[in-house]
Amino acid sequence: MKNAKTSGKSATRPTTAGKKFPVLFVGAGPGDPELITVKGQRALAAAERIVYAGSLVPEAVLKWAPEGSRKVSSAGLHLDEIVAEMAAGYRSGERVVRLHTGDPSLYGAIFEQMAALEGQQIPCQVIPGVTAAFAAAASLGLEYTLPEVTQSLILTRMAGRTPVPEKEHLELLAAHGASMAIYLSVGLLADVQQVLQRTYGPEAACAVVFRASQPDQKVVRTTIADLKAAVEQAGITRQAVILVGPALDIRLGRGAAGPGAVSKLYDPAFSHGYRRGK
């Protein structure tokens, strides 16, 4: 298949005659091969054909795959070629894994792939993964949902070559003032910065995490006013998530964490089904 990076031949392990296995869409996690789920790791370990998002999934994650399995990078393939590769594996009785970065349900373009496979009566299943927003939060020791400060996390992106619905424009979502993780938008940083300055304010804290959890991870802690300059100085141009919101202000010492930032769950005066408050 042209433009595909392949390695290995299809593994020759015995299978039940005529048995077919659903195509598994697996979340590879944010990059650290140990942040794939146990279920995802087991799926990879049993796979005979793996079609992986080669532009984003690190080669290190493929260490869980059998040496003899067929590995195809989809980086240079279009939809029909990707589907054909998976369908061929299914029809030959192979265990097929479609390996996506992060979690497949978030900017994974899996719906169109699954629809095409199901149109050929090929069953599919999804194994979730850890998305970059959570690996980025871990790198900062950040809790997105501080009690009485913010209880919502918005995952979104800036409109670019791929448009977003008008009612989901960044400025409308940012007006909520909640915690926000902005994907796929570092290349539009000047526009992002303008929107965030109008909604969160120029002195609000923000962070940009490049390739969260991977060995070359970079973390930029700054204010919205200095966002573009700080990211350019760090040399970050892609594969990064932008974080903003009041929880980040508190974590980075730019906001006052009052009593509302303390959880009721562990308050000794708070009763619940497992403990009577004092």
CATH of the domain at 244: 3.30.950.10
Same domain, 94 and 137: no
Residue 271 lies in a domain: no
Domain identity same for 10 and 122: yes
200 burial class (0-12, 13-18, 19+ CB within 10 angstroms)? buried
Residues spanned by the domain of 196: 132-255
Same-domain status, 137 and 251: yes
pTM over 0.85: yes
Q: Are residues 27 and 111 in the same domain?
A: yes
Q: Is 272 a member of any domain?
A: no
Domain match, 70 and 21 both: yes
| Pair (61, 84) in one structural domain | yes
- The residue among 127, 153, 176 that closes a domain is 127
Q: What is the mean pLDDT of each run of 10 residues along the chain (278 residues)?
A: 52 61 98 97 98 93 95 96 98 97 96 98 98 98 93 95 93 97 96 97 97 97 97 96 95 61 62 64
- Assigned domain for 273 exists: no
The pLDDT value given to residue 148: 85
Same domain, 83 and 173: no
Whether 85 and 161 map to the same domain: the answer is: no
Domain presence at residue 202: yes
The long-range contacts involving 142-145, CB below 8 angstroms and separated by at least 24 positions, are: 142/243, 142/247, 142/248, 142/251, 143/247, 143/251, 144/179, 144/245, 144/247, 145/179, 145/247
Do residue 51 and residue 150 come from a single domain? no
Whether 260 is covered by a domain: the verdict is: no
Domain boundary among 104, 127, 150: 127
Candidates 262, 260, 264; CA nearest to 277 is 264
Residues 248, 138, single domain; the answer is yes
Determine the pLDDT at residue 275: 62
The span from the CA of 109 to the CA of 100, in Å, is 9
- Claim to verify: residue 119 and residue 165 sit in the same structural domain: no
Q: Is residue 112 part of a domain?
A: yes
* The pLDDT value given to residue 6: 60
Contact 122, 24 (CB under 8 A): no
Residue 274 lies in a domain: no
Domain final residue, candidates 110, 127, 144: 127
Domain count, the chain: 2
Give the model's pLDDT for residue 1.
Answer: 43
Q: Are residues 106 and 189 in the same domain?
A: no
